[in-house]
Amino acid sequence: MIEKENLPRHIAVIMDGNGRWAKARGLPRTAGHRAGMDKVKEIVKACGEMDIKVLTLFAFSTENWSRPKKEIDTLMRYFIDSLKRQVDELHKNNVRFRVIGRKEPLPEYLFTKIREAEEKTSGNSGLTLVLALNYGSRQEIVDGVKQFARDVLQRNAALDGMDEEKFGAYLYTAGLPDPDLLIRTSGEMRISNFLLWQASYAELYFSDKCWPDFKKQDLQDAIQEYQHRHRRFGKVKHEKR
């Protein structure tokens, strides 16, 4: 049973194992991504139903550009297609959509569709769905530091005024709560340059299932496990931060 009053506010997911899922079935890797897309729909719906506030999905990393061009092109096409097809549905379900990551070198058309979807859903108050696209956490931190340095040089910020909370506003995730639960599928036990700053106190949950096999029930198992953990935030007993 999931306790309603102890839900993770923000769940972040590294959706891994699409390629291996496809290979195990004698299918091309892109078939794994296609199946992964369907899974995104299922998990977004489940989070909305469970009243999770923020879901962040790692869809494409800055390192993924080194994959074969054909696979990258297919992924970009899938992102565009699903944005076109799903944005009305997301809007109807009161989902606020947001993308984090660097714009360059995403295809211009994809970027236009992202901006349209963000604008259309910006007033929604249900689940915030964050897609990490061309995202790398170290790059995000470097971008934040550079922006802060610019602000200091232009006298829009004071060096001594900087602290952990203020620095959060310089990250792509500005305004979002930190993830409470970070899930990675496919049996890999790494963070892979994902939300390094934000996930400092997140509970980590690793599932052996490849992403296309990860079901609503698996998400619920992860949440239940989260609810059994004692989060101490470096303190000696269980207290609220």
Minimal distance, residue 110 CB to ligand FPP, in Å: 11
Contact call for residue 40 and ligand FPP (CB under 6 A) = yes
Contact call for residue 18 and ligand FPP (CB under 6 A) = yes
Contact call for residue 33 and ligand FPP (CB under 6 A) = yes
Q: 180 catalytic, yes or no?
A: no
Contact call for residue 19 and ligand FPP (CB under 6 A) = yes
Q: 178 catalytic, yes or no?
A: no
* Pattern 113-152, ligand FPP, x by CB under 6 A: ------------------x---------------------
Say how many residues touch ligand FPP, by CB under 6 A.
18
- Interface residue with ligand FPP among 9, 20, 77, 120 (CB under 6 A) is 20
Q: What's the residue count for the chain?
A: 241
- Interface residue with ligand FPP among 7, 11, 16, 130 (CB under 6 A) is 16
With contacts defined by CB under 6 A, name the span among 36-44, 92-100, 156-164, 200-208 that binds ligand FPP.
Answer: 36-44
Beta bridge partners of 13: 57, 183
Residues with a catalytic annotation lie at 16, 64
